Chains A and B, each alone.
Chain A
Amino acid sequence: MASLALDHVTKRYGRETVLDDVSLSVADGEIVSIFGPSGAGKTVLLRLIAGMAEPEEGAILVDGSDVIDVAPEQRSVGMAFQNFALFPHMSAFDNIASPLVARRLGRDGIEDGVQKIARLLKIDHVLGHAPRALSNGQKQRTALARALVAAPKILLLDDPLRNVDAKLRFEMRLELPRLLERFGSTVLYVTQDYREAMALGRRIAVLVHGRIAQFGTPDEIYDRPANVEVAELFGDPGINLFEGHVEAGRSGMVAAVGGMRLPLAPGFERIAGRSVTIGVRPEHVGFAAAGTEGAVAARVAALLPLNDRMVRLLVTEDGRELYTSREAGGAAMEEGARGHVVADPAAIVVFDRETGRRIAPRSAGFASPALQENP
């Protein structure tokens, strides 16, 4: 176990900058998700930490000391690759045993270690098989076992659930947190799936275009995304975004979007008149039969069940579309039903139209640390 820090790390391939001045600090034993769209530089980040590539600038610190000059085999890192990268000419047993062999454990030590982790991951019955004789799920577990078996200080998981089927992915999403907890390693978990990122990481680093767009807890990132781009990466259906401006309403500030007037939480007085982008997540949008003041009339254009939720596509009088999402089984709304859009003022996120950055409400009197804007 160890703390891990990336300090102003920049990595270029030729003229292309893949990671741009990335700083990240992970506490000992912490599980951090690295989340971002493909091509954001997530895998490269892991490669740098594992020692497979070197950054052009910056330092990688493990327990406070720079490891860039340390060879990969001496970094005490475990890594599970997205494509598994199993050794095709070795049995599953030998694959898993390889970190123990490197640590010169005796025959018994190796046997014990492999059996233990294999039982834990339920692959003890296929240890004699060659990788090509394993199912995708077994391959993935073998790769995971190989990464875990020597209880590395730092565990790097590169989208380990990407290449397995949906059922297995679901199972593993439940199983992995307990497993990782048990080993106590410092974990970086790369994924392209925001749900995985939120389920597994105590904190999430959102990587976009080689930069860390936001680093925070899942709730922070979901509820108070640093910018429009981050907001759009989380949630399904995605966040509803409208362009409008902030103005004074009858009882506090409102966001004016066309004819719609959405009341805002207190604290936006200073940006009256500013052009903004308004974001509100589907689960915070209500659809009430009776409209309150400023609420805009809309009709249900489509109903789409999504997992355990019911998603409605609403079309407002002035032709804007937005999604709402409620637990299924509530008051049924039929297609074509008419009503009014209401949104929870506290859940409305306001972004600066030009920069895309979130504008935090400024509370008079007490400042909540959670509401501070990301630097």
Chain B
Amino acid sequence: MTSADHATAGRAAAERPLTRRRRRNLLPYLLSLPALLVTVWIIIPFVTAIYYSLLRYRLSLPQLRGFVWFDNYLNFLTDGRFWYTVEVSLLYTVLTVVIELVLGLGIALLLQRPSRFNNLAAMLLLLPLMVAPALASLMWKLMTNPNFGILSYLVGLVGVTNFRWASDPSSALFTVVLVDVWVYTPFIMVLLLAGLRSLPKQPFEAAALDGVPRTFVFFRITLPMLMPYILTASLFRMLESIQQFDIVYAMTQGGPGNTLTVFQVEAYLQFFQFTNVGRSAALLMVLWAITFALSNVFVKNWLRLRERAHGAAA
């Protein structure tokens, strides 16, 4: 190669990066832009919600509308209705997640061995998860109807007469938790089952050979190895449970007598029933702060698990 050739090549190399880099690197942006455009507008109502939460704003009293800074939030501090929402939401979340976790883990352990019967059972047990939660509530409403509901009849048989399920403030929470458990236990079950079946076999075989007691195997081997899955599944359920709307609203619309005013139901009522936009938005911002914190923990966990799953598959 002559030196003249070198010179041309060198010049070409110097000029190249500008044109080339730009053209090639545009492609990923072009591919992801449409998806982004269709979804990023969410930021507008989101910012609007932040703004609303700083307003005194009732749709029925537009003349009172005004900027009040953090009054809506400060009012919460001394507001019994707000603290009741916090209390009932947390209670709902803790009850559903704990019950679903225990049941889901139990069933997953029962079905752990991949036999044909177990796989069929796992498939059938997944069905409630496919039922729209709102429709699931409707189903349970039909079953708990005081006049003809099969469940009302059954509890009547064991001597509990006139049990009024979701229509009674004392049993309403129990009833919606029951529906939530019915719908979402399969979610935890199916995740933990996949987790259980993906665990390495050696520790269990070694333990069996050594004659280690089964309770010891469960608490010292199974549970610790399953922990990432348990954590991911329960964080995910927490995220959804604290925001639960469909089941509670479809079942009781927050009633009876405001017994079940969990966060989103309360926000819905504040907006549409009391037309108190400012208060509703502030309430949702509080909920958002909680879910944001939870989702950060969840995503970290989930990513670690996802990496592990993909790494194991590769």
Contact = CB atoms under 8 A, between A and B. Distances in A.
A57 B9 contact: no
B115 interface: no
B37 to A, nearest CB: 27
Contact of A25 (B1, B10, B19): B1
A85 B68 CA distance: 65
B1 A59 contact: no
Nearest to A59: B9
B42 interface: no
A7 B16 contact: no
A51 to B, nearest CB: 11
Given A7-B6, A69-B19, A69-B20, A57 B13 contact: yes
B12 interface: yes
Interface string B1-28: 1000110011011001001100010000
Contacts of B1: 5, 7, 23, 25
Nearest to A69: B20
Nearest to B5: A7
Given A5-B1, A25-B1, A54 B20 contact: yes
Contacts of B13: 8, 57-59
A66 interface: yes
How large, as a class, is the contact surface on chain B? 10 to 19
A260 interface: no
B16 A68 contact: yes
Which secondary structure characterizes the binding site on chain B?
helix
A5 B5 CA distance: 11
A59 B10 CA distance: 8
Given A5-B1, A25-B1, A66 B12 contact: yes
A58 B12 CA distance: 8
B9 A8 contact: yes
A7 B20 contact: no
Nearest to A6: B9
A5 B1 CA distance: 9
Contacts of B20: 54, 68-69
A58 B13 CA distance: 6
Interface centre among B5, B9, B12 (most CB of A within 10 A): B9
Contact of B16 (A8, A23, A69): A69
Contacts of A23: 1
A61 interface: yes
Contacts of A59: 9, 12-13
A357 to B, nearest CB: 23
Contacts of A58: 9, 13
A23 B273 CA distance: 77
A23 B5 CA distance: 13
Interface in A1-42: 5, 7-8, 23, 25
A68 B23 CA distance: 13
Contacts of B10: 8
A229 B165 CA distance: 84
A363 B5 CA distance: 34
A229 B241 CA distance: 65
Interface string A38-72: 00000000000000001001110100001011000
Contacts of A5: 1
Nearest to B6: A7
A361 to B, nearest CB: 29
A8 to B, nearest CB: 7
Contacts of A54: 20, 24
Contacts of A7: 1, 5-6, 9
A59 B12 CA distance: 7
A25 B1 CA distance: 8
A48 to B, nearest CB: 13
A156 B13 CA distance: 23
Interface string B78-104: 000000000000000000000000000
B19 A66 contact: no
Contacts of B6: 7-8
Nearest to B23: A69
A7 B5 CA distance: 9
Interface centre among A7, A8, A25, A61, by most chain B C-beta atoms within 10 angstroms, is: A7
A359 B92 CA distance: 84
Contacts of A66: 9, 12, 16
Nearest to A58: B13
Nearest to A66: B12
B5 to A, nearest CB: 8
Nearest to A64: B5
A147 B154 CA distance: 73
A23 B1 CA distance: 10
A198 B91 CA distance: 76
A120 B8 CA distance: 42
A339 B9 CA distance: 59
B133 to A, nearest CB: 38
Nearest to A57: B13
A5 B12 CA distance: 14
Contacts of A61: 9
Contacts of B16: 66, 68-69
B186 to A, nearest CB: 34
Contacts of A68: 12, 16, 20
A66 B14 CA distance: 13
A58 B10 CA distance: 7
Nearest to A65: B12
Given A8-B6, A68-B12, 9 more contacts: A5-B1, A7-B9, A8-B10, A25-B1, A54-B20, A54-B24, A58-B13, A61-B9, A69-B19
- Ordered nearest first, which 7 A-B pairs have the shortest CB separation? A59-B9, A7-B9, A66-B12, A59-B12, A59-B13, A69-B20, A57-B13
Interface of B: 1, 5-6, 9-10, 12-13, 16, 19-20, 24
11 contacts: A8-B6, A25-B1, A54-B24, A57-B13, A58-B13, A59-B13, A66-B12, A66-B16, A68-B12, A68-B16, A69-B19
